[in-house]
Chain A
């Protein structure tokens, strides 16, 4: 009974993440891979890798923007990397934030980039929190089984 309630809670949580734009179709593809294959923890593994990598990348971007002379090419490369990474796990809001960054580093606008990074980090932290709730529910379901 507890497991059923938790599963319902998990499904509702994931549905709300899709509805609020945190997730897109790519996440569904990962879920299908997990459901069809023999790797039960696949989605949490991939998303966990994304979260660690995104944390590192946003830190590197912040470091670059802190320099007296900003290397915008490196900022571009890091944002590109994060965009690809977020797209690969279906973290839509993070991906969209990366797209918004583009015009600022193209214009070599440091202040714009700092603002864009703050927005990006907000979206990333929100997404991370949602993913962590998802994983906690999955672990509770696993514990009940």
Chain B
């Protein structure tokens, strides 16, 4: 996919986001600061992303719940002033299904670590630079590779969707008990289900690093 984007002889440069399988990459951008949200939206659109902009994590969560298949990546501010959930709470819901990039003003290392341990694939510091925003597609690709490597469908045979009222709905595949059937595929899914979040995250980070190591500068 990445090679197609830089094919020699192409009359016009094809951005990686436009070469993404299934079409343009879709980003849910969440930010309370209207100036920052406008700038982020413009940057993303300029680089070929399809953007849904929401002014709070609360609205962002509703957007996800109303359209589970509608996004490839989530970018959300961490700290919020308004009522409802903040970026960390939103991360808990979104990271189960999507790669999530957090961003904030200058934060201590502990806050960034928290974000990464709780499932973010990156933690950016404002002001968001055009080059950083341009390259967010890499997190989607890395996540899909990780899912493919682990044998799980990226769109979630073993994904758990958490509704806003905190009840848990199961997507197709697994039961609660973790008991496998005689079906080998069920047993494999149950082994995957036994991975801790830290193990999954470590595998993901490794995949991203490998991806970065193989791309040209």
Contacts and interface: CB of A to CB of B under 8 A. Distances in A.
Q: Is B truly associated with A? A: yes
B34 A53 contact: yes
A103 to B, nearest CB: 14
20 contacts: A26-B127, A26-B129, A32-B130, A33-B46, A37-B42, A37-B46, A45-B38, A46-B38, A46-B39, A49-B34, A53-B33, A77-B79, A81-B32, A83-B105, A84-B104, A84-B105, A85-B35, A88-B127, A89-B39, A90-B127
B126 interface: yes
A90 B105 CA distance: 13
B43 A84 contact: no
Interface string B46-75: 100000000000000000000000000000
Contacts of A87: 105, 126-127
Q: Chain A interface secondary structure, helix, strand, loop or mixed? A: helix
Contacts of A85: 33, 35-36
B203 interface: no
A81 B33 contact: yes
Chain A, interface residues (CB within 8 Å), range:
20 to 34
Nearest to A102: B106
Interface of B: 32-36, 38-39, 42-43, 46, 79, 81, 104-106, 126-130
B35 A42 contact: no
Contact of A33 (B42, B104, B105): B42
Contacts of A33: 39, 42-43, 46, 130
Interface string A43-54: 001110110110
Nearest to A32: B130
Nearest to B128: A88
A145 interface: no
Interface in A42-72: 42, 45-47, 49-50, 52-53
Given A33-B43, A77-B79, A77-B81, A84 B126 contact: yes
B129 A29 contact: yes
A86 to B, nearest CB: 9
